[in-house]
Structure 1
Amino acid sequence: MDYIRKYVTNLKDLIQYKNLIQEFTKRDFLQRYKGSYLGMIWALISPLVMLAVYSFIFIIVFQNKWGEVGVDSDATYTLMIFSGLVPFYIFSETINRSLGVVVGNPNYVKKVVIPVEILPISVTLSTIINQLFGLGLLVLGKIIFIDTNHRTLLLVPLILLPIVVVSLGCSFIFSALGVYIRDMAHAVALILNILFYMSPIFYPSTQVPEQFKFVMKFNPLAPIIDMWRDVIIKGIPFDGAMYFQYMCGATVFLIFGLGVFYYLRKGFADVI
C-alpha cells in the first residue's frame, strides 16, 4: 500500500510540471535540427527517402503485390507500406532515443530538483511531433491517390493514441534500464530489427501462414498497424471492441513502465 500511495503522489507531482514538460519537449524537438540548413524540412525528407527506397525494393525489384482485393496499384501499395512505417518509426525512435536520455543528462539527476521522468516523456512527445510530418504526408497521399471513405480520417487522433501510450511505457522502461545496462543499445537494435520484419509493414497480416499467426499476437505493433491501414487507407472504422482491449492493455503497460522507472530511479545518482 505504501508503494501505491507513493506512486499516486509521484503522478500528482508530475502533473504540476506540465509546463516544464512542454518546454523540455519543445527544446528537444528544436535541438534535432539546430544548425542544419534545411531545418525541419528533414522531417519530411527522411520518411520520403526511406519510402522511396522500400518502394523500389518491394515494388520494382521484387514486384510484390499486396495480396488483398482492391490493392493492386503501385501508389496504393506504397501508401500501405507508409502506413506501417510511420507507427513503427514512432515506436522505434522513441525507444532508441530514450536509452540515453537519463545518462546524457546527469545534472538533472544529481543537481536539479525536477522529476526525472520528465526526460523520457519529453523525448516521446518530441518524437511523436517529428513523426507527425510523416503522418501528414500519409494522409495527403491517401486523399490524392486513393478514393476510399475520407471521413474515417477523423479517427486518426484515436489510432495515434495507442502507439503513443505503448511508446511512452517503453520509454520509461528503457530510459531506466539504459542507466544500469550500457549494452542495452545493442540488444535493443537487434530486437527492433527483428520486430521491423516481423511486423506487417510490407505485407498484410492476413498473408501470414496460419501456423505462424500466433507470432502476431505477441507483436504489440501488429494491431496498431492494421488499425492505421483500415482507418487511413481503406476508409474502414476500426473494431471498437479490439480498440478498447488494446487501449486497456496499453494503459496497464504504461502504468507498469512508469512503476519500473520509479523503482529504478532511486539508484540513478549512484550509477551516473
Structure 2
Amino acid sequence: MIKRDVLGRYRGSVLGVLWSFLNPLLMLLVYTLVFSVMFKQQWQGGSGSRTEFALLVFAGLLVFNIFAECVQRAPSLILHNTNYVKKVIFPLEILPWMSLGSVLLHATASLLIWLLFHFLLIGTPPVTALLLPLVLLPLILFSMGISWLLAGLGVYLRDVGQVVSAFTTALLFVSAVFYPVNVLPEAYRSLLLLNPLAMLIEQARDVLFWGVPIEPQSWAISLVTSCAVAWVGFQCFQWMRNGFADVL
C-alpha cells in the first residue's frame, strides 16, 4: 500500500519518482534564496554563511514536514478509502501507517539531498547523524497518535481538514524551523518548548549539523509523551470506527 501510494502521487508525470528528490532540492534552493539572500538572515551562533543557514533550516523542515504531511492527510484517509469500510473486513488502523510510510520515504529522499549538500559544501557530516532515527522515533509515535485521532474525526466532521491545514501553516512559524530556540527571550523560550516539535527539531539539528549527541533525559520525556499520545489517539480511533460505515 505504501508503494502504491508513492507511485500514485507521481502517476502520469514525466519524471515520476524523481520528483521525490527534485522537490526537496527546489525547496532548499528557494528557502536559501528567500531567507539568506533576500532577507539576509544569519543563524545566531553559527558562522553566518548562507550554506549553513540553508542546511540548518532544511534540517528543521525535514522533521516538521514528517509531522505536517501526516496530519494534513489524516482527516481524509478514511474518506478516500471508503471501500475498505463498507465492503471488506479491513484493519483500518493501518491506513495512517501507510500514510506515514509514504511520508518517511520522501523524508529519506530529503535527507539524502541534505547529506549530499553537506558533504559537497562543508564536509563529512558528524558521526552523531547516525542518531537521527532515535530522534525521529518520538516524532513518529506522536504523528501516529494525532493521525489516528484526526482520521476518525475527519469522518464525522469534514471541516477538520481545513482546520488542520491552517493550523500546520501557523505551526511552521512557532516550531523553531527558521531560527534557534535560544534567540527568544527566556519567557517565550519556555513557552515555545511546550511545542514538542520545537524540541525534536533542535535535537535533529544537534545530531545532524552540530555534532551534539542526544540529551537522554529530554529524549526520554519526548518518548514517553509520544507513546501516551499514540495510545490515546489509537483508542479514540477504535472507539469512533464503530460508526464509520453508518456515516459513510
1:74 aligns to 2:50 (yes or no) = yes
1:204 aligns to 2:183 (yes or no) = no
Deviations 1:207-264 (A, max 9, x none): 1122212331321210110011000011111101111111111111111110110011
Give 1:204's aligned amino acid: P
* More deviation, 181-190/45-54: 45-54
1:88 aligns to 2:67 (yes or no) = no
Residue 12 of structure 1: aligned partner: none
Residue 178 of structure 1: aligned partner: 154
Please, which of 22, 25, 44 is the counterpart of residue 45 of structure 1?
Answer: 22
- 1:78-157 residue pairs with structure 2 within 5 A? 78-147=54-123, 150-157=126-133
Give 1:249's aligned amino acid: T
Give 1:211's aligned amino acid: A
Deviations 1:17-49 (A, max 9, x none): xxxxxxx22221221112211111111111122
Deviations 1:169-205 (A, max 9, x none): 1111111111111011111111111100111111000
Deviations 1:70-124 (A, max 9, x none): 3321111110000011111111111111211101111100111011112111111
- In 1, Cα distance between equivalents of 2:25 and 2:124: 23
Residue 211 of structure 2: aligned partner: 235
RMSD: 1.4
- In 2, Cα distance between equivalents of 1:25 and 1:149: 30
* More deviation, 222-231/123-132: 123-132
* More deviation, 151-160/194-203: 151-160
- Check whether the contact 2:132–2:207 (CA below 8 A) recurs between aligned residues: yes
Deviation of 1:55 after TM superposition, in Å, equals 1.4
- Check whether the contact 2:115–2:125 (CA below 8 A) recurs between aligned residues: no
Q: Hey, which bits of structure 1, 4+ residues long, moved more than 4 A?
A: none
Alignment: residue pair count: 248
- In 2, Cα distance between equivalents of 1:140 and 1:157: 18
- Check whether the contact 1:142–1:232 (CA below 8 A) recurs between aligned residues: no
Please, which of 42, 46, 59 is the counterpart of residue 65 of structure 1?
Answer: 42
Please, which of 146, 165, 188 is the counterpart of residue 189 of structure 1?
Answer: 165
Residue 15 of structure 1: aligned partner: none
* More deviation, 144-153/175-184: 144-153
- In 1, Cα distance between equivalents of 2:152 and 2:47: 43
Residue 163 of structure 1: aligned partner: 139
TM-score by length of 2: 0.95
- In 2, Cα distance between equivalents of 1:182 and 1:72: 45
Residue 224 of structure 2: aligned partner: 248
**Please, which runs of 5 or more residues in structure 2 have no aligned partner?**
none
Residue 239 of structure 2: aligned partner: 263
- Check whether the contact 1:156–1:232 (CA below 8 A) recurs between aligned residues: yes
- Check whether the contact 2:85–2:244 (CA below 8 A) recurs between aligned residues: yes
**Percent of paired sites with the same residue:** 37
Deviation of 1:148 after TM superposition, in Å, equals 7.2
1:36 aligns to 2:19 (yes or no) = no
Deviation of 1:132 after TM superposition, in Å, equals 0.9
- In 2, Cα distance between equivalents of 1:99 and 1:202: 27
TM-score by length of 1: 0.87
* More deviation, 78-87/124-133: 124-133
Deviation of 1:54 after TM superposition, in Å, equals 1.6
- In 1, Cα distance between equivalents of 2:129 and 2:148: 30
